Amino acid sequence: MARKFFVGGNWKCNGTTEEVRKIVTTLNEAEVPSHDVVEVVVSPPFVFLALVKSLLRSDFHVAAQNCWVRKGGAFTGEISAEMLVNLGIPWVIIGHSERRALLNESNEFVGDKVAYALSQGLKVIACIGETLEQRESGSTMAVVAAQTKAIADKVTNWDNVVLAYEPVWAIGTGKVATPAQAQEVHFELRKWLNENVGADIAASTRIIYGGSVNGANCQELAGQPDVDGFLVGGASLKPEFVDIIKSAT
């Protein structure tokens, strides 16, 4: 089953109104492959979501970087899935390693969040990935399988899920996974989905790579058979994000 290439830009906790406008202008002026070939989603901080949505070209979409695990209410500082839907935000990133590590988000909590966001009609970029210590101890697959299982335990319909494999040791370090390293984990993840969730879901679910992707290394990574796109951090704030989008072809 054909999987449309997916390029996400995670702006993390960066940007001023002026910087955000500049990035959006660059994206709006860019000549990129059509929406039939590549799906592009950018994820500004919450406070800029409405602005970016209002300015961004219509063939690109926006994602929030998180949302609350259940219905909104007395949860100071949180943003609910319902609010994102109300704002017309179609996507949300859930389970990013920075939140898992810094805010102690457990596998189960991430699984609950993914399920709740999907139940409200959001599409989810669900992040998984091992630390350097886990990789060096040979437990990469066990770690990412456990993270994926916690999602699979709560989710039945995977149509609106993109799985983002982001090795923690590659995030923001400039130390990108080699194409072979990325392909190996993506292949094993697809195999895990095939054996534990279903053949159709394994064939159709996009597994994207994140971790120090840039304009120079994206082509070779994109050429791997089980790499269906990218979740880009630092480089998504720069004009080279356009080159990464172009690696879809």
140 vs 236 by CB, closer to ligand G3H: 236
117 vs 202 by CB, closer to ligand G3H: 117
Work out which of 39, 105, 112, 166 binds ligand G3H, going by CB under 6 A.
166
HEC string of the chain equals CCCCEEEEEECCCCCCHHHHHHHHHHHHHCCCCCCCCEEEEEECCHHHHHHHHHHCCCCEEEEECCCCCCCCCCCCCCCCHHHHHHHCCCEEEECCHHHHHHCCCCHHHHHHHHHHHHHCCCEEEEEECCCHHHHHCCCHHHHHHHHHHHHHCCCCCCCCEEEEECCHHHCCCCCCCCHHHHHHHHHHHHHHHHHHCCHHHHHHCEEEECCCCCCCCHHHHHCCCCCCEEEECHHHHCCCHHHHHHCCC
185 vs 202 by CB, closer to ligand G3H: 185
Is 94 a binding residue for ligand G3H by CB under 6 A? The answer is no
* Interacting span for ligand G3H (CB under 6 A) from 165-173, 190-198, 199-207, 216-224: 165-173
Binding mask 95-134 for ligand G3H (x = CB under 6 A): -x--------------------------------------
Work out which of 41, 201, 232, 244 binds ligand G3H, going by CB under 6 A.
232
Q: How many residues bind ligand G3H (CB under 6 A)?
A: 14
Identity (one letter) of the amino acid at 135?
R
Catalytic residues: 96, 166
* Interacting span for ligand G3H (CB under 6 A) from 48-56, 132-140, 183-191, 205-213: 205-213
* Interacting span for ligand G3H (CB under 6 A) from 79-87, 109-117, 189-197, 209-217: 209-217
Q: Which of residues 211-230 bind ligand G3H (CB under 6 A)?
A: 211-213
Residue 216 CB, nearest distance to ligand G3H (Å)? 13
227 half-sphere exposure, CB direction, 13 A CA radius? 28
The residue written with tokens 């101890």 in the block is: 137
Task: Name the residue among 223, 184, 224, 191 with its Cα closest to residue 205.
Answer: 191
Is 167 a binding residue for ligand G3H by CB under 6 A? The answer is no
Residue 76 CB, nearest distance to ligand G3H (Å)? 26
* Interacting span for ligand G3H (CB under 6 A) from 25-33, 69-77, 143-151, 207-215: 207-215
Contacts to ligand G3H by CB under 6 A: 10, 96, 166, 171-172, 210-213, 231-235
